[in-house]
Structure 1
Amino acid sequence: MKEHLKSDLAQIDYLLDLIKKQGVEYLNSIAEQPTSVNDIPVWEKQVLPESGHGTEEALKIFNQRFKPTIVGSSGPRYLGFVTGGTTPASIAGDWLTTIYDQNTQSTKGQGDISANIELESIHLILELLELPHSFLGGFVTGATMSNFTCLAVARQWLGKQQGRDIAKEGISGTMKILSATPHSSSIKSLSVLGLGSNNIIRVKTIEGDREAIDVMDLENEITQLNGLPFILISSGGTVNTVDFDDFKEIKRLKEIYNFWWHIDAAFGGFAACSDAYKHLVEGWEYADSITVDCHKWLNVPYESAVFLIKEQYKMLQVETFQNSNAPYLGDPLENFGYLNFLPENSRRLKALPAWFSIMAYGKEGYQSIIDGNISLAKQLGHWLENSNDFKLLAPVRLNTVCFSLKDDEKQDEVGKFLEALNNTGKVFMTPTFYNGKKGIRAAFVNWMSTEKDIQLIFDTMNEVVKEIK
């Protein structure tokens, strides 16, 4: 064992204390951490060290070169990209995930059986979201891979409806996919799966400030398929305005027509935790597959999402993802292994941060986070609606505020305003385009955000807008 490696092993407790101290300092000051970096350093190529520096010296080099570029993306005023925070319990789970370094696949046998932790975590998430245990789920890196996993099984289902085994034979011809406002990750998934991102049949949305499926137009498009099976991608909270498709109506159509129903509920699905807003997901339990993103509103570290697929499709799932040298005989759940139920062969124990956080804070804890974020979004929306300089582009339906400058003649200045706002380092928001207007999105998903934060955000917005006038 070389000198630095031997030395690091001998003083691992000291090294971890250094990291702990630095981490605690960051977390204790996270509300003051800049949300954006303006002075981007010029990166210089580093020479590969011959014998290395050892961990303590490497930490010093990191702190000098890279630490100044780290932003408070898990802090209370980072409202861009629907980025959640990290609860203390989820940090504990994530640290232990790294320390234990399990390759989570199996539930029994010799060696690593940490898949039991993952299955229990899925059980807890189903309970939290009030979904039936007829779903089989697993952890992947994010909503993109969750959508990919669900749509891969949907592809296999659609092939079987046509008398083909897509996993073995590959795709030939076109497959029909219907959707109104799919997230870009679903479109990417269709591209990677060979289904074709241009093959989406766009269904109309409800008139007005809506992004939800017009059910009458959906049924019209379905009838034009003349009985052909298809995939429906519906929204459990759109990105711009958190609009929800009418799941009860889609369930009615599913009783009449033959299609795979996938719901992208990356963050909107957590409306199920709120007594006041759970009606938005009423009927989603009848879907064939659901995407839920954990590193958003569950507030666990990146990368974490779950796929939920009805257990009745377990054979289709195995046909899609099994390793060629590991075919199943009999019921795949009797010899369960995630190796044959999802894309990755190598995977961390991603479930542990979620398990810790759910066990630590429970249903009431998450209901408080969800309701609190929604309340903050509504409050900011109210202030914007009554402002002389800003206007809402859509009603605040849940936790995302979609707005723009009030004067339509100043559309060219929206980007300038957002850049100046983000440059303050006090808040971070992202641009969007909605109903033909340049807009801005502010997404509340962080467990630490408070009324004090939105007051500071609104005050900063007013200061910036005066500066650019």
Structure 2
Amino acid sequence: MTPFDLTPDHRRQLFDELLPQLEAYYTHTRDRRVAPKLDPQRVRDVVGQFDFSRAVPAGEAVDFVVNNLLEYQVHVPHPMYYGLYNPRTNFPSILADLIAAYFNPQLAAWSHSPFAAEVERYLIREYGKRFGYGESTIDGTFTSGGAEANLTGILCALNHRFPTFANRGYRAFGDAGPVIYCSDQAHHSVVKAARVVGLGLDSVVQLPTDAGLRLSLPALRKRLTADRAAGREVVMVIATAGTTGTASIDDLPAIAEACAEHDVWFHVDAAFGGAAVLHQDYRAWLRGIERADSIITDIHKWLSVPMGTGMFLTRHPDILDRTFRTTAEYMPREGSTLSIVDPYTHTIQWSRRFLGLRMYLSLLVFGWQGYAETIRHHVDLGNYLRERLTARGWIIENDTPLPVVCFSRPGTNDAGAFARSVCQRIVDFGEAWLSVYPVRGVDTLRAGITNYASTPEDIDRLVDLLDAAV
């Protein structure tokens, strides 16, 4: 037996030692300090104490990793973590990662992992239907997250606008100056994607937002008209359904109408807010999203699965193939006579982890209804936090139905400095974690709720900590 396998008895021993540690963390996360004391040199010394010149006993190595993750990490699964979109993972999705690691399916060629490939195709169709796409037109792919999904959207829009782009690259543009529109609240992965595909930063037009921090429709229409008159080629408009900072939802029906009038690709970044379609009462928040040419949503942002689980959807069933299809002599050909899709022909990635299992296994265990109830729980907690803050004299600075609350304290001399100071005190207390985000140019405190284990009592404690930090 190769030493890389370890023996069956040794593997069982490692599991017997590891699983109780993981279960203790999972069960008692709230008993830990949320954020570590930050000491970069100390962490570097810990990591670098092994030079790999000798093998470390497996049990010792595993204990070392677990103990240092316990010590040096912001514990995003903590019910009092109110930071970015990093939810506590549900247990079936954890098991999914373990299963995927054991079987290590290769999701490049359909013939190598037909079950895994069809699981992901099925989820793409089911999600597409919930966003309002017609079943016969739905296509898409799992991604590593919103950044890859937005990059995919830009590439699809370019190939749609310039049919020779896949072959000729930037030469397909001719004298046209391609531009992309988004709001000044859009995710910065849009800017990065424009740089990656060779359009450059100047191609991204960040339009102003209105009083509700939504993309300004007058500004959009004015710019569309002006750029067309100037001979520029408007490639796409990117709307956001749940911005990263304030969770604002752009006016999707109005943007869809403007895009239709000007024949422009309409892309919706619903990385966070897209989960709202899983609850019947909240689908109206995303009205108009069914008119989008493409949609992205991150399963890992609100739906309690491990990081690195994104999704790109489109109602143009040919565009991913036109954008990414390539041939390689070394790829398996067993499925060449079958009515199937090789995943590598529809994505930037080639070899890829079985990401869809995280959601599939979770849905098998909890169903759509279980997710709907969890989403309602988060929305209710967001509303409860707004009520408790308002009752204590805080001002809510953002307008969104999603469970993200930006807030400030009236009567302070320097509101931004005050917010940063209070945030740091909260983090230093160790009981909770908040972030700071600028609303209309002034830093505010920001609390996001995506943890299914958070309770009204946790909200009460957060409000008490805020009062203590003032």
Question: Is the counterpart of residue 83 in structure 1 residue 120 in structure 2?
Answer: no
Q: Distance in 2 between matches of 1:306 and 1:288?
A: 14
State whether residues 131 and 289 of structure 2, in contact with CA within 8 Å, keep that contact through their aligned partners in structure 1: no
Tell me how far 1:39 sits from its aligned partner. Answer: 5.0
Q: Write the mapping of 1:2-401 to structure 2, written as runs, cut at 5 A.
A: 5=4, 7-38=6-37, 40=39, 41-44=42-45, 45-107=48-110, 109=111, 114-127=116-129, 129=131, 131-133=133-135, 134-160=137-163, 165-172=164-171, 174-180=177-183, 181-206=185-210, 208=211, 210-224=212-226, 225-226=228-229, 228-312=233-317, 314=318, 316-325=319-328, 334-388=339-393, 390-401=394-405
Tell me how far 1:451 sits from its aligned partner. Answer: 0.6
Q: Distance in 1 between matches of 2:399 and 2:290?
A: 26
Report SS of the residue matched to 2:302.
coil
Between 280-289 and 12-21, report the one with greater CA deviation: 12-21
State whether residues 215 and 250 of structure 1, in contact with CA within 8 Å, keep that contact through their aligned partners in structure 2: yes
Gap change, CA 1:65 and 1:229, over 3 Å in 2: closer
Q: Distance in 2 between matches of 1:392 and 1:104?
A: 45
State whether residues 229 and 259 of structure 1, in contact with CA within 8 Å, keep that contact through their aligned partners in structure 2: yes
State whether residues 377 and 396 of structure 1, in contact with CA within 8 Å, keep that contact through their aligned partners in structure 2: no
Q: Distance in 2 between matches of 1:91 and 1:111?
A: 20
State whether residues 248 and 400 of structure 2, in contact with CA within 8 Å, keep that contact through their aligned partners in structure 1: no
Note the alpha carbon deviations across 1:412-443, whole angstroms, 9 max, x for none: 23212111101222111111111121112211
Report SS of the residue matched to 1:157.
helix
Gap change, CA 1:111 and 1:145, over 3 Å in 2: closer
Report SS of the residue matched to 1:189.
helix
Tell me how far 1:339 sits from its aligned partner. Answer: 0.8
Gap change, CA 1:276 and 1:407, over 3 Å in 2: farther
The CA RMSD measured in Å over matched residues stands at 2.5
State whether residues 121 and 351 of structure 1, in contact with CA within 8 Å, keep that contact through their aligned partners in structure 2: yes
Gap change, CA 1:151 and 1:98, over 3 Å in 2: same
Tell me how far 1:245 sits from its aligned partner. Answer: 1.8
Gap change, CA 1:217 and 1:66, over 3 Å in 2: closer
Tell me how far 1:253 sits from its aligned partner. Answer: 2.6
Counterpart residue identity of residue 12, structure 1? R
Counterpart residue identity of residue 98, structure 2? W
Gap change, CA 1:443 and 1:379, over 3 Å in 2: same
Q: Distance in 1 between matches of 2:286 and 2:369?
A: 19
Counterpart residue identity of residue 88, structure 2? G
Gap change, CA 1:47 and 1:91, over 3 Å in 2: closer
Q: Distance in 1 between matches of 2:384 and 2:301?
A: 21
State whether residues 211 and 243 of structure 1, in contact with CA within 8 Å, keep that contact through their aligned partners in structure 2: yes
Tell me how far 1:203 sits from its aligned partner. Answer: 3.0
Tell me how far 1:235 sits from its aligned partner. Answer: 0.9
Q: Distance in 1 between matches of 2:306 and 2:5?
A: 30
Q: Distance in 2 between matches of 1:219 and 1:459?
A: 46
Counterpart residue identity of residue 156, structure 2? V
Q: Distance in 2 between matches of 1:395 and 1:229?
A: 30
Counterpart residue identity of residue 466, structure 2? M
Counterpart residue identity of residue 241, structure 1? T
Between 171-180 and 439-448, report the one with greater CA deviation: 171-180
Note the alpha carbon deviations across 1:229-251, whole angstroms, 9 max, x for none: 42111111112222222222233
Q: Distance in 2 between matches of 1:130 and 1:30?
A: 38
State whether residues 87 and 302 of structure 2, in contact with CA within 8 Å, keep that contact through their aligned partners in structure 1: yes
Could you tell me the percent identity over the aligned residues? Answer: 23
State whether residues 251 and 286 of structure 1, in contact with CA within 8 Å, keep that contact through their aligned partners in structure 2: yes
Gap change, CA 1:261 and 1:291, over 3 Å in 2: same
Q: Distance in 1 between matches of 2:63 and 2:279?
A: 45
Tell me how far 1:299 sits from its aligned partner. Answer: 0.9
Counterpart residue identity of residue 224, structure 2? I
Between 192-201 and 229-238, report the one with greater CA deviation: 192-201
Which residue pairs with 1:404 in the alignment?
408
Gap change, CA 1:198 and 1:431, over 3 Å in 2: farther
Q: Distance in 2 between matches of 1:130 and 1:18?
A: 47
Gap change, CA 1:2 and 1:248, over 3 Å in 2: closer
* Alignment: residue pair count: 452
Report SS of the residue matched to 1:76.
coil
State whether residues 142 and 310 of structure 2, in contact with CA within 8 Å, keep that contact through their aligned partners in structure 1: yes
State whether residues 393 and 403 of structure 1, in contact with CA within 8 Å, keep that contact through their aligned partners in structure 2: yes
Report SS of the residue matched to 1:336.
coil
Tell me how far 1:103 sits from its aligned partner. Answer: 1.5
Q: Distance in 1 between matches of 2:25 and 2:14?
A: 17
Q: Distance in 1 between matches of 2:67 and 2:449?
A: 32
Q: Distance in 1 between matches of 2:338 and 2:418?
A: 57
Gap change, CA 1:115 and 1:148, over 3 Å in 2: same
